[in-house]
Amino acid sequence: MSTLEQIKKIREQTGAGIIDVKKALDEAKGDETKAIEILRKNGQSKALKKADRDAREGVIGMYVHSNQKMGAMVKVLCETDFVARNEDFQKFASDIAMHITASAPQCLRPESVDDAFVAKEREIWTEQLKNEGKPAEIMDKIMAGKEQKLRNELALLTQSFVKEPDKTVEEYLNEHIAKIGEKIEIGEFARFAF
């Protein structure tokens, strides 16, 4: 059985509802780490269920670094004005702007990375691998791995989240979808720097 203290602790860490926390603790047989993992996985499934809804409300999240030399703006969408005014939602938008400022993504998704840029990088990798004497039969696998890594590093959703590097921005987004209970989308963004 889960204790009230455990429920309160996990609820504060994850923002999940009391019933969800209790179910996760019961499923994890009282193991708090496993319960948090269960809640994170459930958050992703809830996000998938909400994916077909329309997000027409939202806020502009902004962040300017303390040196006043770089900053970012991001459009974060939700379903209702009620959620757009929610403090957690607004903090999420600000956190994403803070992440964009630090990580400088080029696009939202890996498949949106500029193909011409990737092609030039592939040319460079091909020459490097030839110079290293890599056998031709493994070069394709190496190239595919390098390309996926590059695309993930340049796309916002697949980057490691600055404040919690053990999760991606997409996982952080899905946690907030589960916590807030509405579809949330990251829209346009821009980064500025001197």
Mean pLDDT for 46-52 is: 56
Q: Cα(176)–Cα(113) distance, rounded to whole angstroms?
A: 25
The amino acid at 179: K
Q: How many residues does the chain have?
A: 194
pLDDT (tens digit per residue) in 5-46: 888 887 777 666 778 888 888 888 888 888 888 877 776 555
- The answer on pLDDT for 167 being more than 60 is yes
pLDDT of residue 6: 84
pLDDT (tens digit per residue) in 98-111: 999 999 999 999 99
pLDDT of residue 1: 47
**Tokens encoding 18:** 């009391």
- Cα distances from 112 to residues 117, 118, 158, in angstroms, run 11, 11, 12
pLDDT of residue 21: 82
Number of H helices, E strands in the chain: 8, 5
Q: Answer with the residue of higher pLDDT: 9 or 128.
A: 128
Mean pLDDT for 161-187 is: 92
Q: Is 79 exposed, middle or buried (0-12, 13-18, 19+ CB in 10 A)?
A: buried
pLDDT of residue 120: 94
- The answer on pLDDT for 48 being more than 60 is no
List all residues 6 or more positions away from 94 whose beta carbon is below 8 Å from its beta carbon: 61, 62, 63
* Strands 184-193 vs 70-78: parallel, antiparallel or unpaired: antiparallel
pLDDT of residue 47: 52
For the chain, domains (ranges, CATH) are 4-49 (1.10.8.10), 57-108+155-193 (3.30.479.20), 110-154 (1.10.286)
Mean pLDDT for 108-134 is: 92
pLDDT (tens digit per residue) in 52-106: 667 779 999 999 999 999 999 999 999 888 889 999 999 999 999 999 999 999 9
Q: Cα(2)–Cα(19) distance, rounded to whole angstroms?
A: 11
pLDDT of residue 135: 84
Q: Is pTM, for the whole model, over 0.85?
A: no
Mean pLDDT for 145-154 is: 95
